[in-house]
A and B are shown apart, each in its own frame.
Chain A
Amino acid sequence: MLHFQFFNARSIEEAINFLAEEVEQCRIIAGGTDLIPALRKEDIHPDFVMNILEIDQLKGITEMDHAVRIGPTTTFTEMIESDILFRFFPSIVQAASSVGGPQVRNRGTIGGNIANASPAADVLPAVLAYDGELELQSKVSGKRIVRLSEAIEGPYKTRFLPDEMLTGIIMKKPEPGTRGLFEKLGRRNAMARARMNLTILLRLNEKEEVSEVRIVPGAVMPVARRVRGTEEMLLGKKSEPSLIEAASEVLAKEMVEVTGIRWSTEYKVPVLKNMFKRMMWQLLR
């Protein structure tokens, strides 16, 4: 078993002070649903583990005028039960519902899902689709806001500074009339890593043309991101079957450009296209 020192932070100030001092070897723990297995498998060897679950400032979901702020230690269960999220970000609620099983959802947090930066994360791609921003804090550099889309460098790797801590997730309320859908494909109906997931946000104007669209496939690329080529193809046009068919081809091409041809490509290409088309029709209905 690993040996490490445990530090229980009671406030953001205490936490970032500790990070400033012990920055090299400290891992942050919230729900622990990713960190504990990694410790057990001895994939990581931290000298310090800092608990942030008892910091009240990091909890809860707050509605502001034009945005909603989610504290990073908000659990998936709390997200599922949130009226605010249900009203403005239904795809986030769908994504949170698809995580693990009830026990994992009771422990796991949105901050952990984002900061762990797993390529197979479920909530992270949905937050990307809503163009979420992260509030980061450090003792030395203070507070800064970065877009989630710019904060992930690679699988399990963020662009946070070593002494920085995630202290909030902020999402602008979508324009009225925005429809959202999240779907996950796993090998079983609970306790499954995403084989792939897909988040689509869509808004039409009064002429039934696509005025806004955001598409984020998850678990098919090293880092989840919006597929701009596919989005641009749909923008400003009426959603005819031929257009959606053509967009699905571009979507698959955008994925393969990033991943190259692998053993799973022969499955992922047709299935990603199918999921995209099915969800588009569901959103347009």
Chain B
Amino acid sequence: MKKRGIGIGSMFYGMGYGFSRPDISSAEVEICEDGSVIVRSGEVDYGQGSDTIFCQMVAEELGIRYDTIQLVTADTFTTPNAGPTSASRVTYVTGNAMVKAARAIKKTLQGVAQEILGEKDLLFSDEEIFSEAQPEKRLSFSKLAKECHLRGLQMVETAWHDITTKDVDPETGQGDAYATYAYATQLAEVEVDMETGKVEVLRIVSATDAGKAINPSNVEGQIEGGVAMGVGYALTEEIKLEKGYLKTGNLGEYMIPTSMDIPTIETHIVEVPIPSGPYGAKGVGEPASIPTAPAILNAIANAIGVRVTELPANLENLHRLIREKEK
């Protein structure tokens, strides 16, 4: 017999390191004589898509195409320190540094363009700089870059961003420990095989607060990846030690889910911009996976009337609970 259940998991999550631990990042934007743009940052893109959104942010500020930007990242020899890729902090901290560096160099460009065009209010768009009032007054981005270089101006800017917070009160534990918080809720629908203890996750619906999704496809990808990790955490992944030796040292024994184990995932990106984030954005990395296991375990409890208190809810553990209940 198979039984179905639905469960919900909700979380809030402090972004970055909090508790007065140093949390800084930096970025560098350089414009070359030919108008090409080089961006440098120590941040690592290990698949979550930070490289793409850095280019998007600089492109947005300078009015250029994001796919023309040259990006140099994660090299201690050439890039400024951005701190670790962790704590769901990259978009929030390094993103701010990116925008700051881009805005600083834009100021230089703007000054020269105002002088050449004789107009104060200028727009940067489609690789051009032009007057809003008199659109025929325009200048190409590459021409402006060359002019700045001819004038010997500083065409590289480094920006620093710090989100280090105050610590909480050591006596009471009260205070605002983090620079900002992220929120997410997920629903899981599962089917439990009462005869074998096997759990099939049928569907996950996720609502994740991204502040502002800089790249919605990336955010969706991160949520789907996070859900997959959460499914593994809930149902199969287990580190086994025997006399201190790791018995699950490869992916044949440490069971992560395959594509055949991942259900349909419905993602809803919730956008409530925060003033302290770049364009209102915050991180979604960990908020994508944190609610999944609680939602699945609640769904299991809903299906079979027994609460799992030990992970993973694998064949043996779950079937033992079913047997104990039937006794």
Instruction: Verify A185–B315 contact, CB threshold 8 A.
Output: yes
Q: Across the interface, do A271 and B260 meet the contact criterion of CB distance under 8 Å?
A: no
> Smallest Cβ distance from A196 to chain B, in angstroms?
9
CB–CB A191/B258 < 8 A: yes
Could you list 21 A-B pairs, sorted by A, with CB under 8 Å? A101-B258, A185-B196, A185-B198, A188-B236, A188-B257, A188-B260, A188-B261, A189-B258, A190-B259, A190-B261, A191-B258, A192-B255, A266-B320, A267-B197, A267-B316, A270-B323, A271-B195, A271-B315, A274-B195, A274-B196, A275-B195
Scoring A192, A264, A275 by chain B CB atoms within 10 A of each residue's CB, the highest score goes to A192
Question: Which B residues are CB-close (under 8 A) to A188?
Answer: 236, 255, 257-258, 260-261
Q: Which of A187, A190, A193, A271 contacts B319 (CB 8 A)?
A: A271
Between A270, A275, A278, the greatest number of chain B beta carbons within 10 A of the residue's beta carbon is seen for: A270
Taking a contact as CB atoms under 8 Å apart, the answer to whether B197 and A271 are in contact is yes
Neighbour of A264 across the interface among B255, B260, B316, B323, CB < 8 A: B316
Task: Count residues on chain B whose CB falls below 8 Å from chain A CBs.
Answer: 18
Whether, in the assembled complex, A157 has its beta carbon less than 8 Å from a beta carbon of chain B, the answer is no
How many CB-defined contacts (below 8 Å) exist between A and B?
45
Ranked nearest first, the 10 interchain pairs of A and B with the lowest CB-CB distance are A274-B195, A189-B260, A190-B260, A190-B258, A267-B316, A188-B261, A189-B261, A187-B255, A271-B196, A191-B258
Q: Is A195 an interface residue (CB 8 A)?
A: yes
How far is it, in angstroms, between the C-alpha of A6 and the C-alpha of B69 when the chains are bound? 50
The one of B195, B197, B236, B320 in contact with A278, judged by C-beta atoms closer than 8 angstroms, is: B195
Q: Mark B255-288, 1 if CB is under 8 A from A, else 0.
A: 1011111000000000000000000000000000
In the complex the two chains form, what is the Cα distance from A193 to B253 in whole Å?
A: 10
B314 contacts A by Cβ under 8 Å: yes
Q: Smallest distance from the beta carbon of B311 to chain A beta carbons, Å?
A: 14
| Chain B hits for A190, CB < 8 A | 258-261
Map CB proximity to B onto A186-205 as digits: 1 under 8 Å, 0 otherwise.
01111111010000000000
List 5 extra interface pairs beyond A185-B196, A190-B260, A267-B319, CB under 8 A.
A101-B260, A190-B258, A193-B252, A270-B323, A271-B197
Contact with B along A236-277 (1 / 0, CB 8 A): 000000000000000000000000000010110011001100
A271-B197, A271-B319, A278-B195 known; A187+B314 contact, CB < 8 A = yes
Give A35-71 as 1s and 0s: 1 = Cβ < 8 Å from B's Cβ atoms.
Answer: 0000000000000000000000000000000000000
B314 surroundings in chain A (CB, below 8 A): 187
From residue B1, how far is it (CB to closest CB) to chain A in Å?
9
Which B residues are in CB contact (< 8 Å) with A185? 196, 198, 315
In the assembled complex, the CB of A269 is this many whole angstroms from the nearest CB of chain B, namely 10
B42 to chain A minimum Cβ distance, whole angstroms, is 36
Measured CA separation A117–B97 after assembly (Å)? 60
Assembled-state Cα–Cα distance A185/B252 (Å):
16
Q: How far is the CA of A188 from the CA of B260 in the complex (A)?
A: 8
Which residues of A have CB within 8 Å of B323?
Answer: 270
Rounded to whole angstroms, the CA-CA distance of A265 and B257 in the bound complex is 25
With contact pairs A188-B260, A267-B315 given, residues A275 and B320 touching in the complex (Cβ less than 8 Å): no
A270: contacting residue among B252, B255, B261, B319, CB under 8 A: B319
Task: Name which residue of chain B comes closest to A273, CB basis.
Answer: B195
B261 A267 Cβ-Cβ under 8 A:
no
Complex: how many Å from CA A192 to CA B251? 11
List chain A residues, Cβ under 8 A from B260: 101, 188-190
A195 and B315 contacting across the interface, CB-CB below 8 Å:
yes
For A183, give the chain B residue with the smallest CB separation: B196
Q: Which residue of B has the minimal Cβ distance to A278?
A: B195
Instruction: Provide the residues of chain A in CB contact with B255, threshold 8 Å.
Output: 187-188, 192
Residues in A with CB closer than 8 Å to B236 are 187-188
Q: Which residue of A lies closest to B258 (CB)?
A: A190
CA distance A264 to B316 in the complex (A): 8
Question: When chains A and B are docked, how far (Å) is the Cα of A188 from the Cα of B256?
Answer: 8
| Residues on the B chain within 8 Å of A270, using CB | 319, 323
> Could you tell me the distance between the alpha carbons of A191 and B236 in the complex, rounded to whole angstroms?
13
Which residues of the partner chain A approach B261 to less than 8 Å between Cβ atoms?
Answer: 188-190
Q: Residue B196 contacts which of A101, A191, A266, A275 (CB distance < 8 angstroms)?
A: A275
Contacts of B258 in A (CB 8 A): 101, 188-191
Complex: A187 Cα to B256 Cα, angstroms:
10
Instruction: List the B residue with the shortest CB-CB distance to A266.
Output: B320
CA gap between A192 and B195 in the complex, in Å: 19
- Which A residues lie within 8 Å of B257 (CB)? 188
B83 to chain A, nearest CB (A): 36
- Using a CB-CB cutoff of 8 Å, which residues 302-327 of chain B contact chain A? 314-316, 319-320, 323
Q: Could you say which residues of chain B place their CB within 8 Å of the CB of A271?
A: 195-197, 315, 319
Q: Interface code A172-194, partner B: CB below 8 Å = 1, 0 otherwise?
A: 00000000000001011111110
Q: Which residues of chain A come closer than 8 Å to B195, judged between CB atoms?
A: 271, 274-275, 278
What chain B residues lie within 8 Å of A192 (beta carbons)?
Answer: 255
Tell me the minimal C-beta distance from A224 to chain B in angstroms: 19
B236 CB to closest chain A CB (Å) equals 6
